Copies of this chain bind each other. A is one copy, B any other.
Amino acid sequence: MERVPFDRLEAEFKRILLNAGLTEPKADRTAALFAENTRDGVYSHGLNRFPGFVAGVQSGKVDPNVEPTLVRAFGALEQWDGHRGIGLLNAEFAMGRAIELARENALGGVGLRNTNHWMRPGAFGLQAADAGYIGICWTNTTVLMPPWGSAQKRIGNNPMVVCIPRKDGPVLLDMAMSQYSNGKLEVMQHRGQSLLLPGGYDDDGALTTDPGAILESRRALPIGYWKGSGLALVLDILASVISDGDATHEIGTRPHETAVSQVYIAIDVSQLGEEADQKIDAIVTDFLGAAPLDAGDNVRFPGEGMLAIRRDSLTNGIPVDPDLWQQLLEM
């Protein structure tokens, strides 16, 4: 693995995005998000996905220079249309609106329809936490997974995020409803690694730890079997109803994933109690106090591993696949 400084990676992303027709401010923010995703170890939605994103802009799948517009407003809740613009920027806008609504109402929500892939879901949870708010968001996706009791893919993996601000680093739960996200399966396959636990079925209907076999069969396992299947279903209904946008079965009729529906919720913890910060910290401290199964190891809260990767990336440079890095320099 080669190591590249954060600023260098961000600058290369920005150069290419400007060439692809993005305005300066849009290229700036999009490059920052792709670089931050890579810095935090989410390679599947950082450097690895960047060439595909640019191809989407060039093919017209993503309209790079539209702005979201307001559909309906209900005080603490708003519906916005993303006009199939850049998913990352629509997402950043929508969480920003949710934060503004939460500033006024303690709780703020935005339904965003007709948007594109937001790459790393957790980025928008972190956006809220960095502003001192709890951030919750989820998206529907195209058809990616069979419901429990079927081998026919029919539901999305509908990633959701809950991010909680905390002095010593946020809690960041960022999870797809499949046991392993498609991005994770792709990275593991690329590296030739097996999954720790079965993540789906092969073409013969047997549970497997081979990421390639799961990508091929398209039978990813929902978390908690029937529970994740049900959770994916209701997240799709909620995203589609709250945004008045398309559901997975409609998205799945298109040749590529677009016009997805998303929900953003921000909560101003400081309004809800005088010692909310200490409350959060005490819960995490107690969680970390659980005796580890293996001596010398420790229990980790969601997002803790990401913070360690971020520190390493900023100190030693971001690890990049040399082939992908070379490809980027030639774009």
Q: Which residues of A contact B (CB under 8 A)?
A: 72, 74-77, 79, 105-107, 109, 111, 134, 146-152, 154-155, 162, 164, 171, 173, 175, 179, 197, 205, 223-228, 230-231, 233-234, 236-238, 240-242, 244, 247-249, 267, 269, 271-273, 276, 279-280, 282-284, 286-287, 289-293, 297-302
CA distance A184 to B302 in the complex (A): 28
List B contacts of A237 (CB < 8 A).
164, 171, 279-280, 283-284
A155 near B287: Cβ-Cβ < 8 Å: yes
How far is the CB of A187 from the nearest CB of chain B, in Å? Answer: 17
B233 near A272: Cβ-Cβ < 8 Å: no
CA distance A236 to B280 in the complex (A): 10
Q: Given A173-B230, A230-B301: A271 and B151 within 8 A (CB)?
A: no
Given contacts A76-B107, A152-B290, 5 further A-B contacts (CB under 8 A): A75-B105, A107-B109, A149-B299, A241-B276, A244-B273
Number of copies: 2
B272 near A72: Cβ-Cβ < 8 Å: yes
List B contacts of A150 (CB < 8 A).
290-293, 299
How far is the CB of A302 from the nearest CB of chain B, in Å? Answer: 4
B283 near A247: Cβ-Cβ < 8 Å: yes
CA distance A272 to B226 in the complex (A): 29
B74 near A292: Cβ-Cβ < 8 Å: no
A228 near B233: Cβ-Cβ < 8 Å: no
Provide a sorted-by-A list of 25 A–B residue pairs whose CB atoms are within 8 angstroms. A72-B271, A75-B76, A111-B272, A147-B287, A149-B292, A149-B300, A154-B286, A154-B290, A173-B234, A175-B231, A223-B228, A230-B301, A233-B301, A236-B283, A237-B284, A238-B267, A240-B283, A241-B267, A241-B273, A241-B276, A241-B280, A242-B272, A247-B283, A248-B283, A248-B286
How far is the CB of A223 from the nearest CB of chain B, in Å? Answer: 3
CA distance A228 to B231 in the complex (A): 12
List B contacts of A152 (CB < 8 A).
290-291
